Amino acid sequence: MASQTTNYQCPSCTGPLHFDSESGQMKCDYCGSVYSVEEIDALYGVKNEAAEQAAEKAAETAEGWDYSGMTDDWGADAAKLNAYNCTSCGAELLCEATTAATTCPYCGNNTVIPGQFAGSLKPDFIIPFAKTKEDAMHSMRKYYKGKKLLPKAFSDENQIEKIQGLYVPFWLFDGEADADAEYAGEIVRTYRTSNEEVTETSHYRIYRRGAFAFDKIPVDASRRMDDALMDSIEPFDYQGLKAFSLSYLPGYLADKYDCSAAESAERADKRAESSVDGALYRSVSGFTGVREIRKSIRLRRGKVHYALLPVWILNTTWHGKQYTFAMNGQTGQFTGDLPMDKKRYWTWHLIYGAIFAAVVYFIKWLLTVI
Amino acid sequence: MKRCLSALLAAMLLACMILSVGAAAMDFVPVEREKSLVVDEAGVLTGKQLALLNERADTLAETCEMEVALVFVSTLDGRSARDYADDYYDYNGYGYGPNDDGILLLVAVEDREYWITCHAAGIREFDEYAQEALADAFVPYMSGNDWYGAAGAYLDQAAREMDHSIPLFWIPLAVGLGMLIALLPMLRLKKQLNPVAKKQEANQYIRYANLSVKQDQFLHTTVTRRRIETDSSSGGGSTHTSSSGRSHSGSGGSF
């Protein structure tokens, strides 16, 4: 289970460097030096080879102990786990096979594990974090506000157990579509003559044909990540897409895809199809009633991009239930399901119910008086 | 103040009317009612029955500010039931308050005819439907010569027509409806807590959308006609002017 790790050290003081989301540069906490991502990339292209050799030092074997009950066969877990050595303090750490960047719990150094990317695709793009941990905490408190049914204890205790910046792997699908559809439309006109009510229904055959192109429909490529949660923090601003570089990773967790592009494509297809369908249908206007007769959408799949997109994940447990929130690390869009206070629900339901009951009674009273 | 003013106006109107009618001094409309609310000129009720009915009619007049009168006569003396009833109302000074609000049911026992006449606020209160409901209430009794029963049914129905309180069942009904309508804002509040949902469309990622063909082709028109039921009722709500120059509404029939 040999693997290599990279952590970026400050060229001036050898303190750990991390990507600073506010300035978009690599920053040293110790001496305050700031480097551009390109500078560090250039420097580490050379340095990495030396680090590789250092990591290959064999593990020491202690004498006099009985190791007979142990095995180095990880069985099924081998595929899921990876060991690596922290290049700063030498600690050997285990982490999940899809984790590509983490923090050493012993020395706090931010470490990238390039070995984790081995054998899989290199991301085309990355959107660096623009929002900090503080922004995420702030957004969370703001998110609680104005929600009348949220249990007060939940927002007051506000015990976020875990907050982590995570680069989530996404497939971005380009595609085109040709579509045509036929609808039956009616325009109903009703008027009165002196002794008849006349209903005139005009029938139409409606035909629409169009061409559509889609750019980078995102589908999250991590099985661990809830699709609905990731959909809900869309959209990412693709103006911020940068060519991938490992230098953006330190300080954040990064996952690699474990859901292939082929598997994910289905969701992108569905979304594109329903968009085309909607666009065709919405272009039909001026009718009293419209019914679909026939529809055909031909999708042409285009380029697939692999990108790491920044997401703050916040976890909390409340009354034994796990709540996960996500914030778009670029735009700050915050979302997540919240628990409901049943007592508050019924209080508000009764309040609204009483108001509406009074209104209903008042209307009845008005009708009786007049 | 307002009452004084309208009383004054009524007095002036009265003076004008006396002038215009001139010598026909006995045709003027008295300010105060000269007879009781329930009058039995045909002698079909006992004294005790008459007293009971008058008591009820008086109470009704006080609580509803509307006089509900009933007159039994033997014959119409060859006059029309409508004119007889209107004149009886006007020249005997029936009606509550300065405007003489009220309703009078005239029953000609031997001619077997009746007429309901309404004046002032009575016209609005007892529209054609209410008059129909009144007739439906008392006509069966009169057909059976039960005059006291007919009188009771008439007063009861008139009281019901003037009762504008909302039936009790409307309280639970309004509460039920209120709770049901309250579901709408509640669903919105609940949705706030569960915003996480899969996206179904990809509208944000459309680079271009070009609708090359848009055809709305007219095929044909179908026409359906429905006859409208025309109102055939005689319009009991319409008013006419009686011999005293005042307007009345009314309806009548035989039994």
Sequence-distant (≥ 6) Cβ neighbours of residue B188 within 8 angstroms: none
CA distances from A307 to A156, A169, A310, B111, B216 (A): 37, 6, 10, 102, 43
CA distances from A218 to A90, A172, A255, A272 (A): 38, 5, 16, 11
Q: Which residues of B touch A360 (CB under 8 A)?
A: 173-174, 177-178, 181
Q: Which residues of A touch B193 (CB under 8 A)?
A: 147, 149-150, 337-340
Of the candidate ranges A58-67, A104-113, B195-204, the one whose mean pLDDT is the lowest: A58-67
Report the interhelical angle of B147-162 vs B47-64 (nearest 10°).
10
pLDDT at A1: 37
Q: Do B206 and A278 touch (CB under 8 A)?
A: no
**Mean pLDDT score, B173-191:** 94
Whether B235 has a pLDDT exceeding 50, the answer reads no
Which has the closest alpha carbon to A329: A233, A225, A257?
Answer: A233
Whether B232 has a pLDDT exceeding 50, the answer reads no
Residue among A195, A338, A361 whose CB faces B193 most closely:
A338
Q: Do A149 and B193 touch (CB under 8 A)?
A: yes
Return the percentage of chain B with pLDDT > 90, whole number: 54
Q: Does A178 touch chain B (CB under 8 A)?
A: no
Q: Do B211 and A279 touch (CB under 8 A)?
A: yes
Q: What's the one-letter identity of residue A18? A: H
As given in the structure block, the two tokens for residue A113 are 């594990």
A-facing residues of B in 229-248 (CB < 8 A) are: 230
* Residue A82 pLDDT grade (very low, low, confident, very high; cuts 50, 70, 90): low
Burial of A192-201, coded b for 16+ CB within 10 Å and e otherwise, reads eeeeeeeeeb
Q: What is the ipTM of this complex?
A: 0.70
Residue among A211, A229, A365 whose CB faces B196 most closely:
A229
Q: Do A360 and B177 touch (CB under 8 A)?
A: yes
Of the candidate ranges A56-65, A135-144, B136-145, the one whose mean pLDDT is the lowest: A56-65
Mean pLDDT of chain A: 82
Segment A262-266 long-range contacts (CB within 8 Å, at least 24 positions apart): A264/A171, A264/A173, A264/A219, A264/A220, A264/A221, A265/A171, A265/A173, A265/A219, A265/A301, A265/A304
Q: Do B211 and A192 touch (CB under 8 A)?
A: no
- Are B58 and B159 in contact, with CB atoms under 8 Å apart? no
A203-234 tens-digit pLDDT: 999 999 999 999 999 999 888 888 999 999 98
Strand partners, B96: B101
Residue among A211, A284, A336 whose CB faces B196 most closely:
A336
pLDDT at B140: 92
Give the pairing type, strands B206-227 and B113-119. Answer: unpaired
Which has the closest alpha carbon to A255: A275, A285, A230, A286?
Answer: A230
**How far is A321 from A151, CA to CA, in rounded Å?**
14
pLDDT at A224: 80
B90-105 tens-digit pLDDT: 999 999 988 899 999 9
Q: Does A293 touch chain B (CB under 8 A)?
A: no
Which has the closest alpha carbon to A311: A49, A127, A48?
Answer: A127
Count CB neighbours of A133 within 10 A: 15
B-facing residues of A in 231-270 (CB < 8 A) are: 231-232, 234-235, 268, 270
Q: Do B205 and A270 touch (CB under 8 A)?
A: no
Distance of CA B226 to the CA centre of its chain: 32
Whether A166 has a pLDDT exceeding 90, the answer reads no
Of the candidate ranges A65-74, A227-236, A269-278, the one whose mean pLDDT is the lowest: A65-74
Q: Which residues of B touch A204 (CB under 8 A)?
A: 216-219
Peptide bond into A235 cis (omega under 30): yes
B35-45 tens-digit pLDDT: 899 999 999 99
**Chain A, nearest residue to B216 by Cα:** A206
A2-35 tens-digit pLDDT: 344 567 778 777 777 778 777 778 888 777 788 8
As given in the structure block, the two tokens for residue A279 are 């666009």
pLDDT at A29: 75
- Are A241 and A125 in contact, with CB atoms under 8 Å apart? yes
Q: Does B207 touch chain A (CB under 8 A)?
A: yes
A304-324 tens-digit pLDDT: 999 999 999 988 888 888 888
**How far is A157 from B157, CA to CA, in rounded Å?**
66
Task: Kindly write down the DSSP assignment for every residue of chain B, as one continuous string.
Answer: -HHHHHHHHHHHHHHHHHHHHTT-GGG---SS--S-SEEESS--S-HHHHHHHHHHHHHHHHHHTSEEEEEEES--TTS-HHHHHHHHHHHTT-SBTTTTBEEEEEEETTTTEEEEEEETHHHHHS-HHHHHHHHHHHHHHHHTT-HHHHHHHHHHHHHHHH--PPPTTHHHHHHHHHHHHHHHHHHHHHHHH---------GGGEEEEEEEEEEEEEEEEEEEEEEPPP--S--TT-EEE-TTS-EEEEEEEE-
Under DSSP, is residue A90 helix (H, G, I), strand (E, B) or coil? coil
Q: Which of A269, A361, A366, A367 to mutate to test the interface with B (most CBs of B within 10 A)?
A: A361
Whether A362 has a pLDDT exceeding 80, the answer reads yes
Under DSSP, is residue A288 helix (H, G, I), strand (E, B) or coil? coil
Q: Do A197 and B203 touch (CB under 8 A)?
A: no
**Chain B, nearest residue to A361 by Cα:** B174
**Mean pLDDT score, A245-262:** 82
Which has the closest alpha carbon to A312: A162, A169, A171?
Answer: A162
Which has the closest alpha carbon to B8: B77, B84, B98?
Answer: B98
Q: Does A150 touch chain B (CB under 8 A)?
A: yes
pLDDT at A79: 58
Under DSSP, is residue A312 helix (H, G, I), strand (E, B) or coil? strand
What pTM did the predictor assign? 0.65
Q: Does B172 touch chain A (CB under 8 A)?
A: no
Residue among A204, A275, A353 whose CB faces B217 most closely:
A204
Residue among A185, A340, A360 whose CB faces B190 most closely:
A340
**How far is A12 from A41, CA to CA, in rounded Å?**
16
Q: Which residues of B touch A212 (CB under 8 A)?
A: 206, 208-210
- What is the distance in angstroms between the Cα of A291 and the nearest Cα belonging to chain B? 13
Whether A105 has a pLDDT exceeding 70, the answer reads no
Q: Please state whether B245 falls in left (phi above 0), alpha (psi between -120 and 50) or beta.
A: left
Which has the closest alpha carbon to A302: A216, A228, A207, A199?
Answer: A216
CA angle at B2 for the pair A368 and B8, rounded to the nearest 5°: 125
pLDDT at A158: 65
Residue among A204, A228, A355 whose CB faces B216 most closely:
A204
